Amino acid sequence: MIPKEIISSLVHKAYAELDEPSARVCHDIIFFLSSHKSGDMQHITYQTIMNGLHKNEVSTLFDNDDLVLHMMRSLDYLTSSKLHILDIHFQFYGPTEDEPSYIDKSELAEAIVSGKFYHPESGEEVEDFRKYIFPFFSPSSYWMSINE
């Protein structure tokens, strides 16, 4: 369990650095994450976060498009060096895949620059690869250290 003083400090920082609606969503994401052990939250998707937000009042304050926008701003902030309680990762989930494949960030960066991405298993070039790349999140080492 994370001490309330630390959660309060994180939330206060979010309100100081984000616009009010995004800070409110960030607040609820922090509380959602703090309600789970870090070990249970190693593969956090946008859907995981949305499900957590829909359990809170914040989901009634915005229409779905605005909620998604503020969630995206909040996740950007939570993965940045400003707060860094989440790490961002990427996975490839093609149309014939049963399970996603982890993609190294440098591999993805190279694919974006070159415009070419090769299937992690077969090595074949994947057309329109961007539609098969999905982010996911995991607790940062800092978050793990305070939420054991």
Residue 1: pLDDT over 80: no
pLDDT reported for residue 91: 96
Q: What is the 3-state secondary structure (H, E, C) of the chain?
A: CCCHHHHHHHHHHHHHHCCHHHHHHHHHHHHHHHCCCHHHCCCECHHHHHHHHCCCCHHHHCCHHHHHHHHHHHHHHHHCCCCCCEEEEEEECCCCCCCCEEECHHHHHHHHHHCCCECCCCCCECCCHHHHEEEEEEECHHHHHHCC
Confidence label for 124 from pLDDT (cuts 50, 70 and 90):
very high
Average pLDDT, the chain: 92
- Share above pLDDT 90 across residues of the chain, in percent, rounded to a whole number: 72
pLDDT at position 146 is 87
What's the whole-number mean pLDDT along residues 13-27?
A: 93
Looking at the chain, the whole-number percentage of residues with pLDDT higher than 70 is: 99
